[in-house]
Amino acid sequence: MSFLDDEDKLIAAWHKAFERCTDVDLWGQPLEAIDGYQRLSKQLQQCSNVDCQIFTDEQKKILSKISICLDLRCKALQ
């Protein structure tokens, strides 16, 4: 299995998780949305770490920014 396969599977899983989070967010379930957003944010933050070999430095910067946006959404829901 190559890095590209790993990257594609990881991105697909994140996409699915984000869709679940936004669904419960739109349905007015803030606690479930916060839980999902926090989990996803943590995963993105871990992959934006210097030690992660799957993504380029530029991609890691973007992952970090998305993680920050998710954290801000959690704060807005609280």
In this structure, the chain runs to a length of 78
* pLDDT in the model for residue 3: 59
Q: What is the fold of 3-77?
A: Four Helix Bundle (Hemerythrin (Met), subunit A) (1.20.120)
User: Tens digit of pLDDT for each residue in 25-69?
Assistant: 999 999 999 999 999 999 999 999 878 888 999 999 999 999 999
* pLDDT in the model for residue 45: 95
CB distance 44 to 70 below 8 Å: yes
- The domain ranges of the chain are 3-77
CB distance 60 to 52 below 8 Å: yes
Query: Can you tell me which residue has the tokens 């871990």?
Result: 46
pTM over 0.75: yes
Task: Grade residue 6 by pLDDT with cuts at 50, 70 and 90.
Answer: confident
What is the 3 state secondary structure string of 13-62? Answer: HHHHHHHHHHHHHHCCCHHHHHHHHHHHHHHHHHHCCCCCCCCCHHHHHH
